Amino acid sequence: MPALVQEKEKSPTEKIDEIKNKYASKDSQYEMLKYNIVYDSLAEGVEPIYFWLLDFLQDREPSGLGMDEVIKNKDEYEAAVGSGYFSDLGTKATRMQEQAMKMMATINTVVRSIINLIYDLREFDIRLETYDDLNLPEEAKREAAELSLRVIWMDQVDIKRGRGSINMLAQQLQFVTLRDAFLYVKDEKDVENIDLNDRVKRILKSRVSEYLKWKGYSEKELRKRYNIERAYLKSQVSSLKHYTTWVKPYLIAAKKLGMANFLTESGMPTPNIVNIFNNMEIRLSLLGLKEIKPENLSPELANLQLDKKYYSCVEAEIKFRTLPRATQSQQGLVYIHAGRTDINMRAYSLTNKDLEEIKKLQEQEDLELIEDMVEVSIKEIQEDIDKYLKKEPEPEKKEKPKFELPFKGIFKGFKQAVTPLKYVMDIFKFKITADTSYYDKLMRENATRAAEKLCYVLYDVYKKAHGMMTW
């Protein structure tokens, strides 16, 4: 039987494209509505084009489209390996990576410390559980806890006496009854009531007395050390959060300075980049959002309440093939970009939930490296961290007697008289609530139509502003 081919999980970028394509404006059943402008200009760089589009999307009418918000969706580049741009940005990326690696070494040290502290606290829990059992109402559990503590004392404290310990006396010096008697008697008084010779009783009294003192002191010390370890764990977790916050900008900067690997639709390397040439390709994308409210459709729908916000969206994607020229300025080496410009303008209708999903996917794409390097080891022990860092329940505060006004009853009666009037007034302020597919489809369609108009205005005004032929 042939093995089943496992479907490759889609990347965050592919998922974002799926969301956009689903709600994109279409000029036919399948074809996406798109306006395209292509021109070659060695005199005009990418900066004026980018900022013209950004300003026109942001500026209020009549000087712009008046979008509520403009988002930069894409900011990628790929430079030929033989270009000066490649070596310059590679040097900057290396510096960011070196700084990140130094901080990552410190983060790994802190993570190991946290893991060791958690293992210590787990052992403290086991030991303290035995002391807690001494106060239980069940007699069997109290006796089991007492026997456990006595065995611990013999194995860890009394054993340091060497041949004078209880275990060695019972094994080598024929004090056979000493161990059993120590586990049986409750205190020094019980020693006199058991049938043993005086020699064994004298040894037993001293050991029982030492054990009872140790039991009281050891519990206090264990709880003290337990609280100290918890406080230290809290400080280490706080340090880890700070170090993680500090290292993220370096990792993100190194990732942004790293080059993209642009591919064709068939998955092959783009032919726009030639290794030996001094050229590069830049891809930028701007997404403008403008909210469409129910009252924009009809004044009668002003009181319509929906669980979503609907936006008309216009995206301007710039593909720029450039031959960067290096010039020396007062700020240092500056590159001037000039070449072929390919602008694609598309219209979408998206909701606030769609935008939230896109935002999550973008953050996931940006922080994949950080999660793999920083947060993966913490996820495994996060439950233990939450357990030991949870706040202790605060003691209940006694309520102070409240001072009541002598005329309180009068105001209470007034409130009861006014309350019915409130319900009468609310009748005239009714709101329409709806969460149906009909209104969702209606808002989607209107948001799409509005986006199409805005997209065409952007296309038409851009061509006119740059002296191109227009309809």
The DSSP H or E segment spanning 409 is: helix 408-427
Comparing C-alpha atoms, which of 164, 199, 196 is closest to residue 180? 196
366 confidence band (pLDDT: 50, 70, 90): low
Q: Report pLDDT for 271.
A: 82
Residue pair 12/362 in contact by the 8 Å Cβ criterion: yes
CA atoms within 13 A on the CB side of 174: 1
CA neighbor of 120 nearest in space, from 250, 232, 262, 249: 232
Amino acid at 10: K
Sorted by where each begins, the domain ranges of the chain are 32-80+273-374+409-465, 99-254
269 versus 230: the higher-pLDDT residue is 230
| pLDDT (0 to 100) of residue 402 | 53
β-strand partners of 345: 35, 316
Q: Round the average pLDDT of the chain to a whole number and report it.
A: 77
Give me the pLDDT at residue 15, please.
79
What is the CA 43 to chain-centroid distance, rounded? 45
Q: Is the pLDDT of residue 397 over 60?
A: no
In tens, the pLDDT along 69-95 reads 999 888 888 888 777 777 777 777 788
Question: Who wins on pLDDT, 412 or 238?
Answer: 238
Most confident of 52-56, 260-264, 375-379: 52-56
Say what the pLDDT of residue 439 is: 80
What number is the average pLDDT over the span 316-333?
78
What is the DSSP pairing of strand 332-336 with strand 325-329? antiparallel
Higher-confidence residue of 99 and 471: namely 99
Region label for 162, one of left (φ > 0), alpha (ψ between -120 and 50) or beta (otherwise): left
Lowest mean pLDDT among 94-98, 235-239, 322-326, 439-443: 322-326
Q: Judge whether residue 22 has pLDDT over 50.
A: yes
The residues, ordered by sequence, that sit 6+ positions from 201 with a Cβ below 8 Å of its Cβ are 191, 192, 194
3-class DSSP state of 280? strand
pLDDT at 337: 76
Closest CA to 218 of 149, 145, 154: 149
Q: Looking at the predicted structure, is the pLDDT value of residue 34 above 80?
A: yes
The model's confidence at residue 406, banded by pLDDT at 50, 70 and 90, is low
Model pLDDT, residue 414: 45
For the chain, the straight-line distance linking the first and the last C-alpha, in angstroms and rounded, comes to 61
Which H or E run contains 212?
helix 198-257
Considering only CA atoms, which of 334, 439, 321 is closest in space to residue 41?
Answer: 321
Task: Identify the pLDDT of residue 430.
Answer: 42
Structure token digits, residue 346: 């598309």
Write the DSSP string, 364-408: HHHHHHHIIIIIHHHHTTHHHHHHHHSPPPPPPPPPPPPPPPTTH
Write phi, then psi, for 138 (nearest 5 degrees): -70, 125
Q: What is the pLDDT of residues 234-273, one digit of tens each?
A: 898 888 878 877 877 777 777 667 667 777 777 787 787 7
Q: What number is the average pLDDT over the span 283-288?
A: 92
pLDDT over 60 at 171, yes or no: yes
pTM, full prediction? 0.56
Residue 100 CB contacts under 8 Å (≥ 6 apart), including other chains: 247, 250, 251, 254
Phi, psi of 315 (to 5 degrees): -115, 135
